[in-house]
Amino acid sequence: MVAVSPKPEIEARSTARPGQIEHARQIEARKLSRRSFLRVGVFAGLTLSMGAFIASFLGFFNLRKPTGFGGIVVVTAAQVPAAGDDPARITSGKFWLSNNSGAQGDVLGSGATGGLLALYWKCPHLGCTVPWNPTFDGATVSFPGIIGWFRCPCHGSTYSHAGVRVFGPAPRSMDTMALSVNGDGSLSVDTGKITLGGEDALREVAYAV
Ligand code: FES
């Protein structure tokens, strides 16, 4: 029988000194940490690229919510119209801020006593943006003597200063948003809290403030 001599590699390992082994370990550890660093870097780069891609995709197709709409929109005291004045357009919240003097706008006589309303500008009929027309004559819609109405350009639905529907195919009055007055006279309008407008004269106007 022929004796098998040990392989040179195994022999070399077995004869390495402790200092050499430690040095080899340090080199291996350095290689590992470099690999981990590269992996983290690649992952972070991919995440950032993906985020930028999604942001530009949403921006391109205009899928991001307009600033403010959907959350709380603050209206400064200076933006609040005086009672009886034309409503103020608050673009960031997509609403009209209407300040009604007494029963102004309560054209169907539901007993409203006046105050502020945040009227969602989306027409309850098919969703067109409803503008305020300060010169529209109420005589056209059987309310002579009242000048200034919300009048939808799409199919003619007509709403009073308080958003009460008096004419057109819209199924109800303008919708309202929750509103509260802050200590400094500014208002906080919660554009995510929308109450559907009344469908009849009995519950047409419920002023928020
Ligand atoms: S969308 Fe306003 S009346 Fe039709």
Give residue-wise pLDDT tens across range 95-137: 999 999 998 999 988 888 889 999 999 999 999 999 999 999 9
Task: Please give the pLDDT value at position 206.
Answer: 55
Query: Ligand 1, from 132, 141, 155: best to mutate by most atoms within 8 Å of Cβ?
Result: 155
> How many CA atoms lie less than 13 Å away from 181 in the CB half-sphere?
12
**Residue 102: left (phi > 0), alpha (psi -120 to 50), or beta?**
left
Q: State in Å: Cα 35 to ligand 1 middle.
A: 63
Cα angle 72, 61, 178; round to 5: 15
DSSP-derived secondary structure letter, 17: -
pLDDT at 1 over 80: no
Q: Which atom of ligand 1 is nearest to the CA of 155?
A: 3
d(CA 115, CA 102): 7
pLDDT at 186 over 80: yes
Contact 162, 104 (CB under 8 A): yes
Task: Enter the tokens of residue 154.
Answer: 């799409």
Q: Between the ranges 8-22, 170-184, 194-208, where is the mean pLDDT highest?
A: 170-184
Q: State in Å: Cα 171 to ligand 1 middle.
A: 10
Contact 197, 107 (CB under 8 A): no
The verdict on pTM exceeding 0.75 is: no
Mean pLDDT of the chain: 83
